[in-house]
């Protein structure tokens, strides 16, 4: 039984908008196309979102919430030490790209350059989402250092920032070149950055 149709409509709009943005970008996604694809009347959109920009902010917040939940689950569950879990996270991304030749589910890669100069609110949502991911990576690095599965030169937060920026840049280059080589190179470097302690 559908107990909350209003929430379902809002969620349906956000999920549909995310898929359209991944295909066309934010500016390429017209509201008419979104409403037609979602089969939702125009009045319903403005009941939930005051503007397309406000919709974009909520869409990004929703995306990062789900991303951070997956990342947290990855670190909390499964076997292996934190070094293995960190490498495993990036290996999954590399494997997916190699199999599909695209980063289809990454709004960060798709929208970062596009919206940062167009919308301060969306830029802020991207920045906040990235900060949350970096904080989780830093926490994993600290735990890996504590269990002596990896070494951190300097602060864990600085290293997490470096790894995040490295992977984001490699992801953008992989998208441009349609080649896994940038991600493969980045993975090798991440492996070196979190080297196992020397006995």
Query: Which residues in the chain are classed under CATH 1.10.357.10?
Result: 60-193
Which of the pair, 121 or 96, is modelled with greater confidence?
Answer: 121
Tell me the percentage of the chain whose pLDDT exceeds 90. Answer: 71
Q: Pick 60-193's CATH classification: 1.10.357.10, 1.10.274.10, 3.30.2320.80, 2.60.40.1930.
A: 1.10.357.10
Structure tokens at 160: 């997490």
Q: pLDDT tens digits, residue range 153-184?
A: 899 999 999 999 999 999 989 888 888 999 99
**Dihedral angle over CA of 150, 194, 87, 131, nearest 10:** 110
CA distances from 3 to 9, 38, 47, 106 (A): 12, 20, 19, 31
pTM: 0.89
CA distance 24 to 45: 20
The architecture of the domain spanning 1-48 is Orthogonal Bundle (1.10)
* 152 in Cβ contact with 190 (< 8 Å): no
Q: State residue 2's pLDDT score.
A: 46
Mean residue pLDDT of the chain comes to 91
**Dihedral angle over CA of 62, 66, 67, 71, nearest 10:** 150
Look at residues 14, 27, 198 and name the one whose alpha carbon lies nearest to residue 111.
27
How many CA atoms, within 13 angstroms, populate the side-chain half-sphere of residue 110? 21
Tell me the percentage of the chain whose pLDDT exceeds 70. Answer: 94
Query: Which residues in the chain are classed under CATH 1.10.10?
Result: 1-48
Q: Which of 32-36, 63-67, 98-102 has the lowest mean pLDDT?
A: 98-102
């Amino acid at each position: 039984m559908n107990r909350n149709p209003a929430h379902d409509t809002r969620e349906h709009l956000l999920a549909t908008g995310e898929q359209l943005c991944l295909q066309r970008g934010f500016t390429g996604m017209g509201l008419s196309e979104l409403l037609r694809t979602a089969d939702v009347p125009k009045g319903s959109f403005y009941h939930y979102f005051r503007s397309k920009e406000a919709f974009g902010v909520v869409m990004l917040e929703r995306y990062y919430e789900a991303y951070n939940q997956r990342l947290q689950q990855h670190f909390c569950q499964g076997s292996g030490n934190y070094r293995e879990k960190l490498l495993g996270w990036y290996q999954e991304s590399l494997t997916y790209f190699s199999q599909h030749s695209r980063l289809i589910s990454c709004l960060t890669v798709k929208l970062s350059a596009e919206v940062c100069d167009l919308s301060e609110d969306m830029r802020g949502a991207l920045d906040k989402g990235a900060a949350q991911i970096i904080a989780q990576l830093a926490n994993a690095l600290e735990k890996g250092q504590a269990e002596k599965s990896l070494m951190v030169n300097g602060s864990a937060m600085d290293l997490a920032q470096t790894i995040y920026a490295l992977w984001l840049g490699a992801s953008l280059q992989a998208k441009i070149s349609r080649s896994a080589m940038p991600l493969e190179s980045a993975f090798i470097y991440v492996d070196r950055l979190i080297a196992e302690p020397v006995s």
